[in-house]
Structures are given as C-alpha cells and as structure tokens.
Amino acid sequence: MPIDIAQDLGVVPPPLPAIETIEELVASEPIPPPQIINGLLHKGCVMVLGGTSKSNKSWCLLDMAVAVATGQTWWGMKTNATPVCLLNMELTRWSIAARLESIAKARPECRPIGQNPLLWNLRGKAKDLTYLRPQLEDQLAQRGVGLIIIDPIYKLMVGRSESSNWGVGLLCHGIEKLMEKSGAAIVYAHHFTKGNQAKKKAMDRMSGSGVFAR
C-alpha cells in the first residue's frame, strides 16, 4: 500500500478547485471584489509602485495609507475607506511620525485620521516574509484590514538576491498567500535600476528579477 508522507505528517494541502467549462464560469456570474482605489485597485489584488531612488515613493505610499484609511481621494482617484496596515521596513519611528503629521497638515480633509491606518515598524527587524507572515496574518485577522502596504519590498528578502528569479518567485508566492489569507489588497514599493529609464518599458525598469513586474 503506497504511503503518503504528507498525510502521515498531517500536512495535507487544501483541495484544489474543480475544473470548469467557460459556460459554467459565465453562468456563475463571478462578482468583482470591492475596489480600494476606484479604477485602479481591488481587494485581493497586488500593485507595485516603482521609482528611482529618492523619488518620494515612501511619501506616496504614506499619502495612500492616509487617503484610503479616511476614504479621501488619492492622486485624483476616489478611494473607499478601509483599515490600512503599513509595514514600515526602513524609516525610524520618529521619521515616519513626522511624515504622517506633515501629510495630515497638508490634507485637512483627511483629519481626524482616526484608528484605520495601522503601522508595523520593522526597521532593524527585517526578516524573510516566510517568518513574518504568520504573525502578520494573526494581527490582520483581528483588524479587518483591506489594504496592506509594504515599503520597501526587498527588505523581506533577507538572505536572497533580488536578481534571482527563484528568490523573487518565492517572495511573490508569499505575497499571494498573504493576500489570499487576509483578503486584502497589497501594494509594495520597489526601486528602479540605476541610469536613464526613459527608453525602457515600464515592466523592465525595476531592479532585479523581471518576476517583480511580470
């Protein structure tokens, strides 16, 4: 009798969905998930914000966190208020506090910010996403978070190269599992390669493996 090691260890993966016909798919009338940013981002989807070094990516994401948390516009696009969790991998506590205060002063329509924007300050404590995900999932489950922002993404690749298709593929798989488990949208920041990016396609501008964009 064949032995299933996974079953013996109690590590049985969840069943896969059944194969369906196109007619069955259309007849089921799948409903799009709620939009976080109208016309741009749904819950359960991933968005990458890329840019050159020092191009204000962190400021953009902090502004997004405040806008979505309060249901105000972001870059002219309407948002739908939902709790936001920002994984701050780089800025000090005093620095990110000062930036959030500056954004709140510049955007009076977002005040009071309230308790919807959540921060997980991990500067100096960066680990691979594999280790952080269980702790994050436990906390998110209690908060009903609809948007997770990671800044910057390479800080979750401890011990791996961002130029490795294998390493980046594992990271993206972890992001998908986090998105699936939480039901939230995920936005992360990634930097461009050095030099002039004007002649490159958008998906080729980001540093490291092409898996980040593709």
- Measured distance CA(45)–CA(179) in Å, rounded: 7
- pLDDT band at 93; cut points 50, 70, 90: very high
Give the pLDDT of residue 81.
93
- pLDDT band at 1; cut points 50, 70, 90: very low
H or E segment to which residue 150 belongs = strand 147-151
Mean pLDDT of 40-63: 88
Mean pLDDT of 30-50: 91
The DSSP bridge partners found for residue 46 are 186
pLDDT tens readout for residues 124-172: 876 778 778 888 887 777 788 999 999 888 887 776 766 666 777 788 7
pTM for the complete prediction?
A: 0.82
